[in-house]
Structure 1
Amino acid sequence: MNKLPHLIVFVFSLTLGISAQESETIPFAKVEQVPIYPGCENLEENTDLKQCMSNKIATFVSRKFKKRVLSKSNLSAGKKRIFVSFKIDTSGNIIDIQTRGPNKASEQEATRVIRLLPKMVAPGMVDGKPVIVPYSLPILFEVKNKRKRN
């Protein structure tokens, strides 16, 4: 009786096995239907969906990103940039997060925030089939000179 759930899961995974088409990676700019970010479901045009998704991700990142973490990381004053890339899989999940920033603390904070992104309502689609869609964004911030206290 204990083996039945394992058998069902195994059969289920075989039934839903990934085909070559499903595991294909299609650039965000070229996908027929972009992944649908929560709150963008009511839009129909792909260009509107792209814009909505980009705006929602940018807003989310700016709200969740903790700049004070970076102020404690001994970065020199000035404008800084963290390059972030990730993929949205065929189920709408965020996977394969990669970051490149001015130091480890900035990369860790960017990774933390991207992990918080919600699951997409629908994955990217090509020919009516789900595909993996890569997405990139820069996170820009400014480090101010620390003021000396008297």
Structure 2
Amino acid sequence: MEPKKNPKSNLEKDLTLYFMIGLVAVLSMSYTAIEWKTYDNVITCPINPDFDTDMGEIPPMTFQKLPPPPKPKIQAPPIIEIAPDDEEIIETVIESNEPDQSTEIVNYTDIDVADVDEPEEIPFSVIENVPIFPGCENATNQGTCFQEMMQKHIKKNFHYPELAKEMGLQGRVNVIFTIQKDGSISGIKMRGPHEVLEREAKRIISKLPRMTPGKQRGTPVKVPFAIPITFKLQ
């Protein structure tokens, strides 16, 4: 047996009506809230009838007479003086110093020629005539002979210092010296790993014999020369 629904209990029958009533109520409250106006409390002060509104006698208006403005200063026009005429300027004629047919030709023997200043010191690699080591006077290549004789001199006078052997010192000492204009040796400078080796290198170079000085254009000049001396323990 199916249960029968009472048509009076249908809740959806007036749903649209209730929705429209609620919508109108919400819009009315919203409009009222927006248009609601409030006013500040105005405090009114009663007018005291006994208040004296008479401000007294109004002083009369006075007018002060100002002094007239100062008159503008008018400067006198400048006095124009007529300057005397300039003196006549005599122009100086500059004669040309260019040679022409009437120019006298100077004899070339009357012209002093300045001596060419040669530097006092010229490196061994660029000098015209290298210093001549004793025994290389008749050598074909005196530069190569100079190098060979230097090596022979070092080997002949080489002595390994005992202190250097005890300390285990070894290395290369770079030596540079100057062959003077008279062929003597001077200005010995050393740079090596230890002072003991430097002293021995200086002793060897100081024993070099006097040489024939190097020449540049026939004039004796100072010639610096550098050579390494190697100290090596066996």
Greater fraction of residues in strand: 1
TM-score scaled by length of structure 1: 0.73
Which of 201, 215, 224 is the equivalent residue of 1:110?
201
Matching of residues 1-150 of structure 1 within 5 Å? 21=118, 24-43=120-139, 45=140, 48-69=141-162, 70-72=164-166, 74-76=167-169, 80-120=171-211, 122-144=212-234
TM-superposed CA distance for 1:143, in Å, is 2.2
Structure 1 spans left out of the alignment, 5+ residues: 1-19, 145-150
SS in 1 for 2:172: strand
Structure 2 spans left out of the alignment, 5+ residues: 1-116
Are the equivalent residues in 2 in contact too, given 1:80–1:143 (CA < 8 A)?
no
Q: How many percent identity over aligned positions?
A: 37
Residue-by-residue CA offset, 1:82-134 (whole Å, 9 max, x unaligned): 100000000000110001111111000000110000000x1000010001000
Q: Say how many residue pairs are matched.
A: 117
Query: What is the rounded CA distance, in whole Å, between the counterparts of 1:75 and 1:28 in structure 2?
Result: 35
User: What is the aligned partner in structure 2 of residue 10 from structure 1?
Assistant: none
TM-superposed CA distance for 1:63, in Å, is 1.6
Query: What is the rounded CA distance, in whole Å, between the counterparts of 2:174 and 2:189 in structure 1?
Result: 8
Kindly name which structure, 1 or 2, has the bigger radius of gyration based on alpha carbons. Answer: 2
Are the equivalent residues in 1 in contact too, given 2:161–2:200 (CA < 8 A)?
no
Are the equivalent residues in 1 in contact too, given 2:161–2:197 (CA < 8 A)?
no
Give the alignment's Cα RMSD to 1 decimal.
1.6
Query: What is the rounded CA distance, in whole Å, between the counterparts of 2:145 and 2:183 in structure 1?
Result: 16
Structure with higher RCO (Cα < 8 A, 6+ apart): 1
